[in-house]
Chain A
Amino acid sequence: MRRDIFQAIADPTRRAIIVLIAVQAMTPNAIAEHFDTTRQAVSKHLKVLTECELVQPQQQGREIYYKLQIDKMKEIDHWLEQFRKIWESRFDQLDNLLETLKKQQQ
């Protein structure tokens, strides 16, 4: 099943995990310490985030560290950028309309 990036960040705990590991890669145990939840629940969230390629597990010695994939986060910004352009286009037209109306009023 293809996991959706927006589905991944729709969950508040997963968003908090993202914020946490944005600063530095962390082990599941270290991440779990920050939440009032079980280690299993955190593992489940990490699994979803990994499937969306938002985080990447990296083996370091005996521990696995989870690292944020910055490029994937940028995908979300890309979506928003397109939305921004829709509004820009819309406002351009409103500028023109206001210009016309002002001329009519004079």
Chain B
Amino acid sequence: MKHNLQFDFEADKVKNTLTIRREFLAGRQLVWDCYTKKELLDQWFAPKPLTTKTKSMDFREGGHWHYAMVEPNGNEYWGWTDYIKIQPIDFYTSTDAFSNAEGEINESLPRAEWVVTFTDKGENAVVETVVTYKSLEDLEATLQMGMEQGMLATLEKLDELLVKLTGRE
């Protein structure tokens, strides 16, 4: 079941960027759809045990995605993404932000620029995500938000899972 898929995660502490490259066992169009259609994004974007809930999405240049990551206990963490440039099915660029349920952006929390590029690798697709923060402090603040959002609550379980999965290779 599990294949040896490319996964690179690089942090450039000088340029304040994270580069995340991942291969998927599907064609580029299908992977593009998963990134750009709300009914599909809702099924994977928030890491377990959180779930994703889209309030509104308008995937076009100048459009936005307003969504929440929801904890099992019902706590909601709202996010807002502005879409800047879109070239299907090659790439899109966006700016992310923390917001509230009304879609008002929290200016005191960091925003980051995203460049998401889709390429072919044989029959598979590779997605490269470059996230640029204004500073390392911004990156840390984002990580801390991640902590508070309980994203890491199941890390031990995930570790076990990963050991199991890599043991299969």
- Using a CB–CB cutoff of 8 Å, the interface residues on chain A facing chain B are 4, 6-7, 9-10, 15, 76, 79-80, 82-99, 101-102, 105
Contacts and interface: CB of A to CB of B under 8 A. Distances in A.
B30 interface: yes
Nearest to A77: B11
A88 B45 contact: no
Interface of B: 5, 7, 9, 11, 13-14, 18, 20, 22, 24-26, 30-31, 33-34, 40, 43-48, 135-137, 139-140, 143, 146-147, 151-152, 154-155, 158, 161-162
Contact of A102 (B30, B46, B158): B30
A95 B25 contact: yes
Contacts of B44: 90, 93-94, 96-97
B13 A7 contact: no
The majority secondary structure among interface residues of chain B is mixed
A98 B34 contact: yes
A89 B137 contact: no
A101 B47 contact: no
A82 B152 CA distance: 8
A6 B154 CA distance: 26
B139 to A, nearest CB: 7
A93 B24 CA distance: 11
B135 A102 contact: no
B12 to A, nearest CB: 11
Nearest to A101: B30
A8 to B, nearest CB: 9
B48 A89 contact: yes
Given A7-B137, A10-B136, A80-B11, A90 B45 contact: yes
Given A10-B137, A93-B47, A98-B34, A88 B152 contact: no
Given A76-B13, A90-B44, A95-B24, 8 more contacts: A79-B143, A87-B9, A90-B45, A93-B43, A94-B24, A95-B5, A97-B34, A98-B24
